[in-house]
Amino acid sequence: MTGNFETEVLHSIHKKAEGIKSKATPIYQTSAFTFNDLDELEGFYQGEGSYLYSRVGNPNTDELGQSVAALEHAEDGVAASSGLSAILAGVLAVVKNGEHIVAADDLYGGSFHLLKSELDRFGIETTFVPFSDLKKVEGAIKDHTKLLYTESITNPLLRVENLEDVIALAKRRSLTVLIDNTFATPLHVRPYLLGADLVVHSATKYIGGHSDVTAGVVVGRKDLIAEARARIVNLGANLSPFEAWLTCRGLKTLALRMRTQSENARMLAERLRGNEKVAKVYYPFEKGEKGYGAIVTIELAKHVDTNRFFKSLGWVKIVPTLAGVETTVSHPLKTSHRALPPEAQAELGITYEVVRISVGIEHAADIIEQFEAALDAAVK
């Protein structure tokens, strides 16, 4: 269906209970499905049946993959056990041994490590370049390059990718494009509609929204999702039915949560931009007609003690992740981007003083007050 996002997010759910007309999709908490006879069993392998074994497919995991695909207006989607599993499946749907990826140099640290250290062991080469300079991106493309990979809003410094230009370059060079859309969500941008081939989400973050699941989703062209699904099945990267059910439940409130969190983030960023205890505020102030995202990253001024700042945050929790309904903070240098080489950290500007704030749904005035109090308490 098409329409306003608030309606789509509730009514694009595909899986309906058969027989018993349950309003909510039941949890199919089963490892396997039964058959009446050998003919019915053989029918599954001939494409006549839906489910065999939950590693291969389950109504709950299908609901999640198809629901996110509908929100991104993509042809198909598949759920995975984590955001990184979804990224791996998306990459392996396109690239094989002996082939090459050009990736943004400011990716999430886990993605950077996956491409640089793990896939390299299997003969997949990656060149990391600043996607803010498309001449450098084009210059990194080789004869055996198959994929361009970047994030719609980068983690943690919130560079907003010029998706139209990246996608145009890929089309010109006959390359596939994979976009990590975790920070923006389909509420703020839909890369598939702009021409991306694959879009990935760490559904642990805003799709689930409540910090109680670990999940991933990759959506996109039907042929590529078929390949991604095969990788998830054969590598054992499937999501459990219960976690898929929880993620779908969280997805229903995505519009409400994301609008509130994004507006709170904008107000916090505006206030901190004028605070002399903050050297720099990273936030896409001028980007996005539909919103600006719910992450604010700051660099503390030199006269602020970073450790004391973290200790003074009161009800704001320190966590290594983001996007729950509560406001939290993380230290990218010590968590999400710990795996980057020191020279890469320095080049990107990920220093000890950088703090990533995941803004929640609390009252904006309370959030602002808490951070201002922590800054005051941390002055050296």
By annotation, the residues acting in catalysis are 55, 108, 180, 205
**C-beta of residue 223 within 8 angstroms of C-beta of residue 196:** no
Distance in angstroms (rounded) separating the CA atoms of residues 314 and 54: 43
Distance in angstroms (rounded) separating the CA atoms of residues 237 and 356: 29
Residue 218, CB-side half-sphere exposure with 13 Å CA sphere: 36
Distance in angstroms (rounded) separating the CA atoms of residues 307 and 353: 9
**Which tokens in the block code for residue 323?**
């996007």
Helices 59-72 and 241-251 cross at an angle (nearest 10°) of: 30
Our CA angle for 188, 74, 94, nearest 5°, is 110
Which of 124, 131, 62 minimizes the C-alpha distance to 93? 124
**Distance between alpha carbon 21 and the CA centroid of its chain, in Å?**
33
**C-beta of residue 250 within 8 angstroms of C-beta of residue 209:** yes
**C-beta of residue 210 within 8 angstroms of C-beta of residue 325:** yes
Distance in angstroms (rounded) separating the CA atoms of residues 235 and 14: 26
**C-beta of residue 151 within 8 angstroms of C-beta of residue 108:** yes
Q: Reduced to 3 DSSP states, what percent helix, strand and coil does the chain have, rounded to the nearest 5?
A: 40, 15, 45
Q: b vs e for 328-363, b when ≥16 Cβ sit within 10 Å of the residue's Cβ?
A: bbbbbbebbbebbeeebbeebebeebbbbbbbbbbe
**Which tokens in the block code for residue 357?**
């704030």
